[in-house]
Chains A and B, each alone.
Chain A
Amino acid sequence: MRKTRVFTALSLILVMLSSGCTHAEVEQVGGIFVEGQSGGDAETLNWILAADAASFSYVGHTLDTLANYNNQLEIHLLCLAKDVEVSPDGLVYTITIRDDLKWSDGSQVTAEDYVYTLKNLMFSDWLNYPYKNSWQEDVDGDTVFVTPEVVDDTTFTITRQTVDPEFVYIIYDLIPYPKYITTKYEGDVEAFTQAPELNNLTYTGNLGPYKFAEWIRNDRYVVERNPEYYLGKDSGAPYFERYVIKLFGTSATIQAALEAGDITYCGIEPDKVSKFKSLESINVYTVPTASYTLVGYNHRANGWEGLKKTTIRQALSMSIDKQVITDKVYLGFAEPAFSFIPMTSPWYTDEGIAKYGVEVLYDKQKAIELFYQAGYGKKRADGTMEIIDKDDRLLKLILVTTTGGGLAEDIAFLIKQELSDVGIEVELKLVPWETLVRNYLMNKVPGTDQESRYNNGPEAVSDEPWDLVLMGFGTDVLAPSGSGIFFTTEGGLNFFGYFNTEIDKLFKRVRSKEALDKEVRQQIYAEISRILSEEQPVDFLVFRRSNVGFQKNVKGIEPGISMGYNYYLWYFE
């Protein structure tokens, strides 16, 4: 117990030091922090039913996860008393929570609450938690749940039958439901869905820096300072009286509100950054993200046949200038991407990576030659080459992307121009997201009554033909193996139909016992990145940077990839 307290005190001191605050007396409670958002509203505060990020974001103000990570990607303990212990064989995870976590009725949050949440709610058939697969593993062809068990009031274990070195990151995100309330609704999905305590977060006790106050749908979500917050015992944090998420319909109005001083913080689009930087009242921070933009090549039967050839994909990627996209579309707030692992990830390496689209591998003449060598070109009388399809006609490709995204449309037009320069005609199809998903990404084997999915095997095709798709993907910087869903044969989001047994094996290895050794894991990631950069199943375009603006009187901010990890220490000057 003493050890826990010493550790907690130490971590608090470290957190305060790292937040750059040297004068504790300046951190006073007061003020209302207003975050402007232009995305959609959350769906529910009953988080186990949520499928959207906004719901988890809202709930996160009142319920801490076990841990998150800081800007240096080091684990930052929240409800954990100490870091998760993993047995040497990588199968048993021992989780020790703090002993000062309380529900609203004053009772202690125990290991039993966590295990109950896992076993009776997240793993249940009646509730169908949308992300339950994260807690399942394949054992001899069967899909089974991991086994949680209570050890004592503050300790529980989770036992796997197979090794997954990155499973610990799933554990860090765990939040509990109060067993004393939830048992009332167990087994009755309608009652659970509509339970007032769960929808109004009346149970959250001291588990988050704020307590739920008000939620006006499509307008604002308000939480108020929780003076009992377990991480604020010594520091007095959090320091804002209220934290408000105000929703706006357009990014123009949200940015006008920031400029007018009506809100405290919001995201800023690249073309507005210089304007906001020139304002005396605003601090603008540019931080890296784990989101990237790519062009996916359709390897399936309804894509142009040439896209199945590596040389052709390389030639296409060689024709699109990533530096121009970075500089002209993102105005420098991005960096060229060559694999799914961002430079900020500890698993990133550029050793052996083929950097298509920049420097020597941005070469349109070479691209035309590659087409010619692959049988899709002919020589004119003057000796120059032109690209043709197998019927000796001008090659036409269909590029599909979503409407409404200004930058996506800009990139689409830029790609059309780049490919036009090498003699390929691109037909742009700008469609709503739902149409993109249903008609272009989801697929099934023709002539069968299969349910459409993102990957129904190599024979499956989408309803509408397409060749290139422009869209955004995301990676977990600490656990990038999740991206196997895009690039493996069985990958649930491998809608472009890239199948490579070597890649399948590598993604399997990165989640195996040998990958417990970080050096081995690093090598495997390097090999995956190398193969993908060489084979170009997709053209990784850029990793995006995010720009955010704060009123200058907000202090305690640590700009970085995980900027809000200790936002409860932010305060008004």
Chain B
Amino acid sequence: MLDASSDNCLPPLAGVGYKPQHYMDIIQGSGPLGWLEVHAENYMGNGGRPIAQLRQLSEKYPISVHGVGLSIGAEGDLDTAHLARLKHLCDWLNPASFSEHLAWSTHDSHFLNDLLPLPYTAQTLTRVADHIDQVQEVVGRQMLLENPSSYLAFVESEKDETAFLAEIVKRTGCGLLLDVNNVFVSATNLKTSPQVYIDSFPLHAVGEIHLGGHDEDADETGAPLLIDSHGKAVVDPVWALLDYTLARSGPKPLLIEWDNDVPEWAVLAAEIARADGALALA
């Protein structure tokens, strides 16, 4: 277990997921922006423009490194080459935060490029905790673990997701990244209450909150099926769930995630302003 006098020092302000098409808007400082988040894997090349831009941005803004490919929930061992790349990135960049997902994406050395779900059992708890111990030891800093979007349930699951995450925090000393859109998506899909989820979530461990857009579909029975697409504005019920969360947690660093059909900067700036508004009331 990591001795986690928290390494995570993002400011309790609104930030945005960085997209290279917004480089000029951001570097010229068009509007308030507390910090930036980057996907770790996009900065694992050997050099060139991506790394040069990230270096420049890091001189101006706190940076959160958000991994999407470590496969912490995998049945197999972690990819030590990938872990070494994460360590290298965190070493030179010295980010204000480092986070990954409660999910798996690699099996038998095939990477599937999606955040795949796992059942919540005693066995998976031990496996995830062991993997997080390994990550924190190699990278040498505390990590935040993000709650997933769920589309289905595992019959074999024994624990609620919030109890599972609370136990992981206790065993490993990691922090949590609370994605309120994922909470809303999962609760709708699994017919549970998002407020009950927030009430039972270990909010003391939250180092960052994510907000994003989702798509609406239905399953074969006509039941609503929300899909975490990160390709739209945050919807009103998710903003309301954010208010509900902040009223209990106090101000936290908030991130607007918009990864697909990325809009012009002004649209993101409006989302950032709305997130700052929510923080002002917290």
- A and B form one complex: no
Interface residues of chain A, those whose CB is within 8 Å of chain B, are none
